[in-house]
Amino acid sequence: MHAGIIFFLVILGSILFHIFTPWYWTDIASNWKGMDDTITLTFWVGGGVFIAVCLFMIYCVFKYSYKEDRKAEYKPEDKKLEKILTVATTLGVAALLAPGLIIWNQYVNVPKNSIEIDVMAWQWGWQYRLPGKDGKLGTTKVVNINDDNPFGINLDDPYGRDDVMVQSDIINLENNRPVKILLRSVDVLHNWYVPQFRAKMDAVPGVVTFYWFEPNKVGEYEVLCAEYCGVGHYAMRGGVEVQDPNSYQEWLEEQETFSDLLAKQNKEIETKNFAKNNSNIEKVIYKEEK
């Protein structure tokens, strides 16, 4: 008896917790409301099954507790009942699967008008690259990466010259414009995840992965690494600022392009050459000390 009551309270408590919980979704800020809706649907169907199964179990505990003089029913099989249950379960599962697959189909098909963003991850940080006026990102190689070429852009790729480089862990996005996140990593697995956008995908060294979303709420969001990447994983945060188109354009124009950077470096190289004679003297002194 007590057992049945406690189990009942557990189920009741679960339902009440679900209704009154202060811990639930962070407000959505992207187009992926369909994911939330599928979760809600799954909650109704799955939660209903959970409650029904548990209540039936509790009913059995109350009704059929051991009595010396009672004999249990002897009925090894009931083909009809088993068939009904199989068909009903299959239908229920199919009803949940269908919306899941439809949304996945949207998830893997990126809209044509989306802007591509190269998200580069390493232990432990992020930086971003946007296509320049030509609308295309230049190709990259891990071995090209150095201080003068922080994104490893192939120097002979004409598309790469005008790429906009955001050497910061915060990226700005234009509101209501789909973005295709192109993920790459130079060392281990990472995952660029903003809870409010719902979407995520691992960054895998050696390949470029992608996903897309359309931010639809102006504001600042935190980026979390969602794939374990070593001891600094928990501290690998970044930021996103979703802006209206005007402020976004303003921000974009302030950013440096790859050719800007190259020009700056050429200047620096000249200065360096100029200063070489001086530094040679220092080096000699250093060697002697060693």
Partner 1 sequence: MSDEYENKSGYQAQSSEALTGSAGSTPDMDYVRPAELPEQDLYHGHTFITKWVFCQDAKVIGVQYFLTAVFTGVVGLILSWLMRLQLGFPGLAGFITAEHYYQFVTMHGMIMVVYFLTALFLGGFGNYLIPLMVGARDMVFPYVNMLSFWMFFVAVAVLMASFFVPGGPTGAGWTLYPPQTILEGTPGSGMGILLMLISLALFVIGFTMGGLNYMITVLQARTRGMTLMRMPLTVWGIFTATVLAMLAFPALLVSAIMMTLDKVIGTSFFMPTILKAGEVLEYGGGSPILFQHLFWFFGHPEVYIVALPAFGIVSDLISVHARKNIFGYRMMVWAIVGIGALSFFVWAHHMYVSGMNPWFGFFFATTTLIIAVPTAMKVYNWILTLWRGNIRINTVMLWCLGFIVTFVNGGITGIFLGNVSVDVPLSDTYFVVAHFHMVMGIAPVMVIMGAVYHWFPLITGRFLNETLGKWHFWTTFLGAYSIYFPMHYLGFIGVPRRYYEMYDSPYMTSAVGMNEFISTAAFLVGAAQFFLIFNVIKTLKTGERAPKNPWKANSLEWHTSTQPPEHGNFGERLPVVHRWPYDFSVPGAKDDFIPQTTPPSEVAHTKVEKT
In the region spanning residues 238 to 267, those forming contacts with partner 1, defined by CB under 8 A, are none
**Strands 237-243 and 170-174, bridge-based pairing:** parallel
**x-or-dash string of contact with partner 1, 21-50, rule CB under 8 A:** xxxxxx-----x-xxx-xx--x---xx-xx
| Euclidean distance between CA atoms 198 and 224, whole angstroms | 12
In the region spanning residues 64 to 103, those forming contacts with partner 1, defined by CB under 8 A, are 64-67, 70-78, 81-82, 85-86, 89-90, 93-94, 96-97, 99-101, 103
In the region spanning residues 161 to 190, those forming contacts with partner 1, defined by CB under 8 A, are 183, 186-189
User: What is each CA distance from 77 to 63, 82, 121, 163, in whole angstroms?
Assistant: 21, 8, 58, 69
CB of residue 119 vs partner 1: minimum separation in angstroms?
13
Stretch that binds partner 1, among 217-225, 246-254, 260-268, 273-281 (CB under 8 A): 217-225
Are 115 and 242 within 8 A, CB to CB? Answer: no
**CB proximity list for 55: less than 8 A, separation 6 or greater:** 8, 11
Stretch that binds partner 1, among 127-135, 203-211, 250-258, 265-273 (CB under 8 A): 203-211
**CB proximity list for 16: less than 8 A, separation 6 or greater:** none
CB of residue 193 vs partner 1: minimum separation in angstroms?
7
Phi, psi angle pair for 175, to nearest 5°: -65, 145
CB of residue 256 vs partner 1: minimum separation in angstroms?
21
Q: Which of 12, 16, 57, 275 binds partner 1 (CB under 8 A)?
A: 57
